[in-house]
């Protein structure tokens, strides 16, 4: 059986890219496709594998301006030749679901969310620094992108959603049903530490929809120490409103991230995420999360057991949650056990069950495993 894994683009390293990595690694000899791929933005487990990209890869300034080329991605997706593949797995929060496959192929789309910037443009644009002309022109362009996205949603034979929240969006926007399979969590990314620091931590790309501004303002106003790990276009604006208790470290080494996270009081998770993998990664180190009560966090955080929620996206509401948090006791073992329910093996087993149910012959998938050279659990094979 010829198998292809298609990801929107490898232009940043986040949760969607980690899912694409696991989709690729759990299958026998798949081919990997993307419209654009920067090696530095690919997970370590697939950073050296052959990847087929579209003509967009050669556009001038693509590494810097890949966002500005957003209207070209639908055409680039059509440029990917998947005509010889019998099983296509697309990993999509944008365009990959629109690939054209052969008539007899089975196309499964793992949907991280329907295109956020198209279907939630008003709230998305509120926190972006668009000028007058952009705010005038973009809604017309977005309307066309919505039409394309609905048409593209008819391409997959099956949808898999990363959360119940996203499954509901798929139903509402595309009129399609979706199986829910939570993303794979690397429960070995962070480890226990007996030491405890006196700081909270943010671990995130610094982009507007993540609402890191709430964590920065709350910790500044309530005089709580905060370490911000990660970088992005919002860093300068966040530093401008930060008080002396907030420290920005940018991108740090894996060893430094592990040390900082393992000793923190808690992770602050102030945005509304489609799923949110970081709280579960941090839980594997025995550390809880304070999260906004919305989105995928409702499926992964058990209140008063693995974390706390705050109800309004204001610094005051988050600050109040931090005050409540500091009166609570947390069990590292309970947190670790909870995170393991979302591990890579669980993801692969659930995906194997789903593929069998839809009639894809994957005997042995998710059952026989071995340790590969990078230390991850890999599947021993699939027979067609």
* CATH number of the domain bearing residue 16: 3.40.50
Tell me if 191 is assigned to some domain. no
| Alpha helix segments (H runs only) across 128-206 | 132-152, 164-169
The model's confidence at residue 237, banded by pLDDT at 50, 70 and 90, is: very high
- Which residues have C-beta within 8 Å of that of residue 286, sequence separation ≥ 6? 192, 262, 330, 331, 332, 333, 335, 336
pTM of the model: 0.84
Tell me if 120 is assigned to some domain. no
Tell me if 326 is assigned to some domain. yes
First to last CA, the chain: 6
- Region 299-325 average pLDDT: 97
Do 331 and 364 lie in one domain? The reply is no
Do 333 and 348 lie in one domain? The reply is no
Q: Is the pLDDT of residue 378 over 90?
A: no
Residue 328 belongs to a domain with what CATH number? 3.40.50.2000
| Alpha helix segments (H runs only) across the chain | 15-25, 62-65, 73-79, 116-119, 121-126, 132-152, 164-169, 212-221, 235-241, 254-262, 278-283, 297-300, 315-325, 332-340, 344-357
Which pLDDT belongs to residue 139?
A: 72
Do 220 and 105 lie in one domain? The reply is no
- Angle formed at CA 208 by CA 119 and CA 40, multiple of 5 degrees: 95
Do 356 and 240 lie in one domain? The reply is no
Structural element, H or E, at residue 244 = none
pLDDT in tens, 166-223: 999 999 999 999 999 999 999 988 888 889 999 999 999 999 889 999 999 999 999 9
Question: Total domain count for the chain?
Answer: 2
Q: Which residue has the higher pLDDT, 315 or 144?
A: 315
Q: What distance in Å separates the CA atoms of residue 211 and residue 271, rounded to the nearest whole number?
A: 5
Do 349 and 233 lie in one domain? The reply is no
Do 55 and 177 lie in one domain? The reply is yes
Q: Is the pLDDT of residue 373 over 90?
A: no
The model's confidence at residue 362, banded by pLDDT at 50, 70 and 90, is: low
- Angle formed at CA 269 by CA 277 and CA 116, multiple of 5 degrees: 65
- Region 352-373 average pLDDT: 66
For residue 262, give Cα distances in angstroms to 48, 70, 277: 30, 38, 16
Burial class (CB in 10 A: 0-12, 13-18, 19+), 132: exposed
Q: Is the pLDDT of residue 128 over 60?
A: no
Of 40-44, 66-70, 106-110, 186-190, which one has max mean pLDDT? 106-110
Q: What distance in Å separates the CA atoms of residue 72 and residue 66, rounded to the nearest whole number?
A: 10
Q: What distance in Å separates the CA atoms of residue 16 and residue 109, rounded to the nearest whole number?
A: 12
Do 370 and 302 lie in one domain? The reply is no
Tell me if 145 is assigned to some domain. no
Domain residue limits at 334: 199-340
Tell me if 136 is assigned to some domain. no
Question: For 84-88, 253-257, 264-268, which range has the lowest pLDDT when averaged over its residues?
Answer: 253-257
Neighbours of 71 (CB within 10 A): 12
Do 93 and 231 lie in one domain? The reply is no
The phi and psi torsions of 213 (rounded to 5 degrees) equal -55, -30
Q: What distance in Å separates the CA atoms of residue 7 and residue 94, rounded to the nearest whole number?
A: 9
Q: Is the pLDDT of residue 270 over 50?
A: yes
Tell me if 193 is assigned to some domain. no
Tell me if 121 is assigned to some domain. no
pLDDT in tens, 283-294: 999 999 999 999
The model's confidence at residue 119, banded by pLDDT at 50, 70 and 90, is: confident
Which pLDDT belongs to residue 375?
A: 36
Do 101 and 228 lie in one domain? The reply is no
Q: Is the pLDDT of residue 57 over 50?
A: yes
Do 208 and 354 lie in one domain? The reply is no
Do 29 and 158 lie in one domain? The reply is yes
Which pLDDT belongs to residue 25?
A: 93
Enter the DSSP assignment of 42.
S
- Region 256-279 average pLDDT: 95
Do 362 and 227 lie in one domain? The reply is no
């Amino acid at each position: 059986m010829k198998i292809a894994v298609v990801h929107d683009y490898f232009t940043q390293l986040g949760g969607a890219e980690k899912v694409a990595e696991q989709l690729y690694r759990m299958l026998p000899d798949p081919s990997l496709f993307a419209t654009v791929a920067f090696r530095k933005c690919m997970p370590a487990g697939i950073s050296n594998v052959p990847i087929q990209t579209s003509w967009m890869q050669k556009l001038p300034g693509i590494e810097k301006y890949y966002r500005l080329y957003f209207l070209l991605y639908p055409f680039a997706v059509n440029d990917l030749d998947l005509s010889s593949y019998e099983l296509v797995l697309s990993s999509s929060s944008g365009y990959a679901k629109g690939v054209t496959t052969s008539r007899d192929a089975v196309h499964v789309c793992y949907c991280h969310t329907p295109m956020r910037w198209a279907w939630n443009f008003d709230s998305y644009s509120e926190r972006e620094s668009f000028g007058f002309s952009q705010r005038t022109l973009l809604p017309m362009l977005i309307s066309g992108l919505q039409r394309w996205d609905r048409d593209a949603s008819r391409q997959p034979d099956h949808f898999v959603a990363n959360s119940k929240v996203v499954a509901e969006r798929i139903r509402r926007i595309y009129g399609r049903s979706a199986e829910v399979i939570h993303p794979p969590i690397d429960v070995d990314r962070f480890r226990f530490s007996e030491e405890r620091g006196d700081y909270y931590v943010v671990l995130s790309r610094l982009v507007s929809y993540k609402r890191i501004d709430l964590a920065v303002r709350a910790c500044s106003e309530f005089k709580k120490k905060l370490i911000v790990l990660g970088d992005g276009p919002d860093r300068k604006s966040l530093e401008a409103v930060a008080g002396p208790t907030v420290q920005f470290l940018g991108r740090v080494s894996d060893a430094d991230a592990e040390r900082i996270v393992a000793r923190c009081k808690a992770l602050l998770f102030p945005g509304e995420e489609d799923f949110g993998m970081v709280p579960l990664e941090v839980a594997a180190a025995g550390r809880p999360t304070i999260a906004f009560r919305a989105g995928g966090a409702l499926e992964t955080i058990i209140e008063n057991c693995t974390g706390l929620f705050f109800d309004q996206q204001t610094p005051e509401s988050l600050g109040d949650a931090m005050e409540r948090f500091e009166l609570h006791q947390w069990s590292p073992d309970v947190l670790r056990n909870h995170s393991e329910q979302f591990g890579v093996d669980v993801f692969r087993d659930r995906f194997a069950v789903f593929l069998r149910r839809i009639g894809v012959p994957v005997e042995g998938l998710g059952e026989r495993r071995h340790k590969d050279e990078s230390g991850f659990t890999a599947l021993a094979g699939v027979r067609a």
